[in-house]
Amino acid sequence: MKKITFETFTINTFAEALTLNRILQNATMFLLILFLLFTTAGCELVIDTLIDDTDETEETDDPEKTTETWTSVIDTDLESSVLRDDLILLAREQIGIPYLYGGATPSGFDCSGLIYYVYGEYGFTTLPRTSRDMYSSGTNVGMDGAKLADIVAFYSPVSHVGMMTSSTTFIHAPSSGKTVTEAEFAGYWERQIAGVVTYIDDKR
């Protein structure tokens, strides 16, 4: 009877040990699975964070996505751009140069010669030379649509032109015996305005 009891105890003990071993194996496998899941989730989280950081950096560095406020260096109430500013700055450098019929260099300017020279310095090589052709060949925008450096024409038929510096002022080479100057529209010149045209594509 003792032997049977011992064998039974041995068998039971072995069965329990086997069961315990399986439990331990299953627990180990379960912990391993949990570890892998957490590790994978952690890697995905790190990867997602890196991707988010990269996207934010790209959005900051992308010129098309960066909003910058540009301010004209010209004291004007007209819409401007870097090119338009440059045209007026160059035109103002010519203030004081004497009027010269047929002139289109800093030695002397007539009205269309001043604009022909200034625009030509910035690549407008096909700009017409005479005031009438400048007006007829340009895109008509009128005073309401005028922007800085657009060409304002006078008289009917057109025989004089200048460059817009604001809604109330313009630069021109007036007439014989005078010099390039910046004048106001108010009064005489306002009554002589024929229109305003542009050759500048602001979308370029």
Report yes or no: 92 and 182 within 8 Å, Cβ to Cβ. Answer: yes
Distance CA 35, CA 115 (A): 77
pLDDT at position 57 is: 42
Q: CA–CA distance from 54 to each of 63, 67, 136 (Å)?
A: 16, 19, 52
What's the pTM value of the predicted model, to 2 decimals? 0.67
Supply the DSSP string of 50-111, one letter for each residue: HHHHHHHHHHHH-TTT-------SS--SS---HHHHHHHHHHHHTTTPBB-TT-EETTEE-H
pLDDT at position 11 is: 46
pLDDT at position 133 is: 98
pLDDT at position 118 is: 98
Polymer length in residues for the chain: 204
Distance CA 28, CA 123 (A): 78
pLDDT at position 50 is: 45
Q: Do strands 104-105 and 169-172 pair parallel, antiparallel, or not at all (unpaired)?
A: unpaired
Digits of tens for pLDDT over the chain (204 positions)? 444 444 444 445 555 655 656 766 766 776 766 666 555 555 454 445 544 554 444 444 554 444 456 789 999 999 999 999 999 999 999 999 999 999 999 999 999 999 999 999 999 999 999 999 999 999 999 999 999 999 999 999 999 999 999 999 999 999 999 999 999 999 999 999 999 999 999 886
Q: Report the Cα 44 to chain-centroid distance in Å.
A: 36
pLDDT at position 161 is: 98
